[in-house]
Chain A
Amino acid sequence: MSALAITAGFADPVIEAQAHFHALMNALARPGSVQPFPAALDAPAPLTRELAAVALTLADHEATLWLDETLAASKAVVDYLRFHTGARLVANPSDAAFALVADVAAMPTLASFAQGTDEYPDRSTTIVIAVETLAAGGDLELIGPGIEDRTRFDLSPRPAGLAVQLAANRAKFPRGVDLVFVGARQVAALPRTTLVSEV
């Protein structure tokens, strides 16, 4: 039976979903801070275990998922996310509540995702991007809510023209997308409020 081929999700869904949400909440509340993200689960490649942990923590039949081409091409990934989250998978990035990006290089522009409206800026996409490294320090300087004065942040690999795209995203406030970066059992985030400059 094909159902038996689906990889298992969280061993303890209640406690693990809370732990991963806690890390995501802290990451968004303190932009650029790198939070531990246990992601102790197996996920079918090319879905990383961290992307899977975010999807299982936040997506369900009320929150749509968009997968980048790499992920959408894998039947194992699609079956895994459908089975564990029940989320509707959408083809158009502007319909997504959450977008999962495994291949940073091929990522669409931030403007192609849902931006929300002036009256309902919450109707926007949270883009979850798998990266290799996340670190404090580095050449991205961050200012904004959640940051006491200013902080430095580094990630690799990066979406093309990240600082320019983020400046355009910030200019739309309160509309815009929020970015969550996951990798190496860590999570960090850049919500739409953060001013990012390359130094």
Chain B
Amino acid sequence: MSAVAAPQANGYNFAYLDEQTKRMIRRAILKGIAIPGYQVPFSSREMPMPYGWGTGGVQVTAAIIGPDDVLKVIDQGSDDTTNAVSIRKFFAKTAGVATTTETRDATIIQTRHRIPERQLTEKQTIVFQVPIPEPLRFLEPRETETRKLHALADYGLMHVKLYEDISRHGHIATTYDYPVEVADRYVMNPSPTPKFDNPKMHMSPALQLFGAGREKRIYAVPPFTKVRSLDFEDHPFEVQRFDKPCALCAATNVYLDEVVLDDRGGRMFVCSDSDYCEERRADGHRGELSGEAPGLHAIGGAS
């Protein structure tokens, strides 16, 4: 599907939010960019969807989007899931903007828990939906204390947590929402993306914005900014590895979803990034199951 423009519905301000709210969010975004990884408090609004469905990301997208933007929304890498479809329709209706599922055509990509496999460009902005922005929250529940820890750049607690992982499991067992240090200063939650995607945040040409609606925080990583996953010299950071290529497009070095095929233990692994997989199949790449199971990718995307 290439970019499709929709007529804007009557009765809404452009992109739903009122102008005063947009200004408030825009000021927070500018401060977030100036202080990479620092969580800027903002007065998050109620949106016509429940908290936990991406209200933070939606508010950030609504504040930055313009009539010429092309929006892509993904949920766990897929353009086809309820959350992604609803948010895409929301902006098509309230802003009349063009939407797309193709990563290369998008100027704004709103995402829940994946970064597209295709390298992002300087022309693109990626907006992350964040449930818990505070990396130290489960280690120190008091906001007054976590603020102090960030102010002092005291991240010892986090290193103890990762060390406890090693002493218990023999390796760092954190696989998603893996903490990163941004621009040699703030420790930040990259939202619950698999740690597979952490290296893509490092020196990314695209601007990365993060919105947490329920927790009322906005933060940012400017383009070409150092993003280091926390680790130890003797236990360096590693991403997940997969034994097999994608069963549909034979891609390697991509993040795969497991799809159960039957009730006898049959399963397949397919690209989590549905657009990347479709593009590869259109280019003639074939995985081991692509011939026999033409409809299966849609099922995989909905998991």
Instruction: From known contacts A119-B150, A145-B224, infer whether A63 and B23 are also in contact, taking CB-CB under 8 Å.
Output: yes
Query: Once A and B bind, how many residue pairs between them come within 8 Å at the CB atom?
Result: 112
Q: Does B240 contact A (CB under 8 A)?
A: no
Q: Which segment, of B25-33, B75-83, B258-266, B267-275, faces chain A?
A: B25-33
Interface size grouping (class) on chain A: 35 or more
Q: Does B66 contact A (CB under 8 A)?
A: yes
Contact B27 A63 (CB under 8 A): yes
Residue in A29, A58, A63, A193 whose beta carbon sits within 8 Å of that of B183 in the complex = A193
Q: Which of B142-198 contact A (CB under 8 A)?
A: 147-148, 150-152, 183, 185-186
Contact with A along B14-43 (1 / 0, CB 8 A): 100001101110111111111110101100
Contact B64 A145 (CB under 8 A): no
B149 to chain A, nearest CB (A): 10
Q: Does A18 contact B (CB under 8 A)?
A: yes
Chain A hits for B23, CB < 8 A: 17, 57-60, 62-63
Instruction: From known contacts A29-B223, A119-B151, infer whether A58 and B26 are also in contact, taking CB-CB under 8 Å.
Output: yes
B174 to chain A, nearest CB (A): 25
Contact with A along B199-228 (1 / 0, CB 8 A): 000010101000000000000111111100
Q: Does A126 contact B (CB under 8 A)?
A: yes
Q: In the complex the two chains form, what is the Cα distance from A126 to B14 in whole Å? A: 27
Q: Does B303 contact A (CB under 8 A)?
A: no
Q: In the complex the two chains form, what is the Cα distance from A126 to B205 in whole Å? A: 25
A56 to chain B, nearest CB (A): 10
Q: Which of B131-150 contact A (CB under 8 A)?
A: 147-148, 150
Q: In the complex the two chains form, what is the Cα distance from A30 to B205 in whole Å? A: 10
CB nearest neighbor in B for A148:
B224
Chain B hits for A50, CB < 8 A: none
B95 to chain A, nearest CB (A): 10
Interface size grouping (class) on chain B: 35 or more
Contact B34 A15 (CB under 8 A): no
Chain B hits for A15, CB < 8 A: 14, 66-67
Q: Which of A32-58 contact B (CB under 8 A)?
A: 57-58
Q: Does A28 contact B (CB under 8 A)?
A: yes
Contact A126 B30 (CB under 8 A): yes
Contact B19 A191 (CB under 8 A): no
Q: Does A171 contact B (CB under 8 A)?
A: no
Contact B27 A193 (CB under 8 A): no
Q: In the complex the two chains form, what is the Cα distance from A109 to B284 in whole Å? A: 62
Taking chain A's interface residues, is the majority helix, strand, or loop, or is none over half, making it mixed?
loop
Contact A29 B19 (CB under 8 A): no
Q: In the complex the two chains form, what is the Cα distance from A146 to B220 in whole Å? A: 11
Q: Which of A118-149 contact B (CB under 8 A)?
A: 118-122, 124, 126, 144-148
Chain A hits for B63, CB < 8 A: 21
Contact B66 A146 (CB under 8 A): no
Contact B224 A192 (CB under 8 A): no
Residue in B22, B35, B67, B207 whose beta carbon sits within 8 Å of that of A17 in the complex = B22
Contact A145 B225 (CB under 8 A): yes
Contact B35 A121 (CB under 8 A): yes
Chain B hits for A126, CB < 8 A: 30
Residue in B31, B64, B66, B205 whose beta carbon sits within 8 Å of that of A122 in the complex = B31
Residue in A26, A28, A58, A119 whose beta carbon sits within 8 Å of that of B147 in the complex = A119
Q: In the complex the two chains form, what is the Cα distance from A14 to B222 in whole Å? A: 25
Q: Which of A84-141 contact B (CB under 8 A)?
A: 97, 117-122, 124, 126
Q: Does B47 contact A (CB under 8 A)?
A: no
Q: Which of B222-250 contact A (CB under 8 A)?
A: 222-226
Which 5 residue pairs across A and B have the least CB separation, nearest first? Answer: A118-B151, A191-B34, A146-B222, A145-B225, A122-B31
